[in-house]
Structure 1
Amino acid sequence: MTTTIEQPSDVQDNSRFEQLLKQVAQCQICQSSLPLAPKPIIQLSTQAKLLIIGHAPGRQAHNMDKPFADKSGERLRSWLGLTEQQFYSEQVAILPMGFCYPGKTKNGDKAPDKRCYATWHQQLIAYLPHIQAMVLLGQHAQSAYLQRSINVTENAKGWQTHQQQMPAIWPLPHPSPRNNIWLSKNPWFSQELLPALQNHIRLLLPSAKFE
């Protein structure tokens, strides 16, 4: 899939966007496959410049009704060089591949339900006209949004090839503690990719925007 953002003719119509968000909040498309009651957890603003697309909310995020309200979120904010206040601002949009907590397997959380992406992503992203950078966390997001997705390691290694397009794309592993071994085996990630990412975000989201 390409990352061209096609905007609807009523992109400036906030009432239509708010209506769409209400529809998402009431969504029950995958209710029968969820371990808990549906609770879509997203963070969207028409003013956002950075879009984060990840897996799906974890159990703690579900309980707190807040995206990345866990150890993965702490690591992600560290990777991005953002404070908690900056991360949860209108400058940052968070749109997971699955909007609700999917439940667990013995190896971690279940895969996100594909119906969230198919039903909502294109509609919602169309109302984010100012997005200049996309952070893709993990294989599910990268398979959906990279024109040529190989695997998480190779996608991340090729990060420089995605910087000339608009929006710029940053393929990252998921910040879960389960990826500690991956991080130890790939020191270039912390030494090369993260400094470049943090510099990009500093230019994109200057501190004055959060005052």
Structure 2
Amino acid sequence: MNRLGDQIRDCRLCAARFAATQTRHSPRPVVWFRPSARLLIAGQAPGMRVHQSGKPFNDPSGERLRAWLGLSEAEFYDQSRVAIVPMAFCFPGYNAKGSDLPPPRICGETWHDLVMQELGKIDLTILVGGYAHKYHLGVKTGVTDTVKAWRDHAPRLFALPHPSWRNTAWLKKNPWFAAEVLPELRAQVQRVIND
């Protein structure tokens, strides 16, 4: 791994913040990128399962995301081709109601631009969830409107809803996503992965 990846892995900026959450956990940055990657998956923040495993999207959300992208597990986790860069590298913890806390802004402000500079030639960017949409696109619209405008950014960028099971109702309510967005997304992913 590169020096920047090592620096991120050693980061403890949020130690006091995480100790004050319901989970009272320590930072564990999950770093998954190499400068050679051409496909960027820009997400939100790791969940508890990813925090425990140290492997991004190693949960049911990851299974759904891989299906959306049309990638095998081996292809998805090939760091030489796929970079996974969330808005926060650590699991932010749960609030008192058991919901995920938002990604701490200090993480993105400290690391995100440095990682983007480190990545060489990104041919396809996939934005997963509202926090990634806002940061990379500067949008103030909600997830539905941002994803509906997919043609404005394709074929080099796709904004997706989060693949969490919590969004199953959203997927049923918005069948155009599976019918229109996913076939074009898969075609672009295959173009980049196989080029």
**TM-score (structure 1 length as normaliser):** 0.85
Q: CA deviation at 1:107?
A: 6.2
- Of 30, 47, 52, the residue aligned with 1:58 is 47
1:109 aligned partner, one-letter code: D
Query: Is 2:77 the partner of 1:88?
Result: yes
Task: Output the CA distance in 2 between the equivalents of 1:130 and 1:95.
Answer: 15
2:189 aligned partner, one-letter code: I
Runs of at least 5 residues in structure 2 that lack an aligned partner in the other structure: 19-23
- Of 162, 165, 185, the residue aligned with 1:197 is 185
Task: Output the CA distance in 1 between the equivalents of 2:2 and 2:37.
Answer: 15
8 Å contact kept, 2:8–2:31: no
User: Following superposition, which runs of at least 4 residues in structure 1 exceed 3 angstroms of deviation?
Assistant: none
Task: Output the CA distance in 2 between the equivalents of 1:107 and 1:157.
Answer: 30
- Of 11, 14, 18, the residue aligned with 1:27 is 11
Q: Give the equivalent residue in structure 2 for 1:174.
A: 162
Q: CA deviation at 1:116?
A: 0.9
* Identical amino acids, percent of aligned pairs: 41
Q: What is the aligned length? A: 188
Query: Is 2:66 the partner of 1:77?
Result: yes
Task: Output the CA distance in 2 between the equivalents of 1:103 and 1:147.
Answer: 25
Task: Output the CA distance in 1 between the equivalents of 2:32 and 2:130.
Answer: 21
Q: CA deviation at 1:125?
A: 1.1
Q: CA deviation at 1:124?
A: 1.1
Secondary structure of 2:2's aligned partner:
helix
Q: CA deviation at 1:163?
A: 2.1
Q: CA deviation at 1:149?
A: 3.8
Runs of at least 5 residues in structure 1 that lack an aligned partner in the other structure: 1-16
Q: CA deviation at 1:42?
A: 2.1
Task: Output the CA distance in 1 between the equivalents of 2:99 and 2:176.
Answer: 26
**TM-score (structure 2 length as normaliser):** 0.92
Q: Give the equivalent residue in structure 1 for 2:153.
A: 162
Query: Is 2:132 the partner of 1:144?
Result: no
8 Å contact kept, 2:5–2:31: no
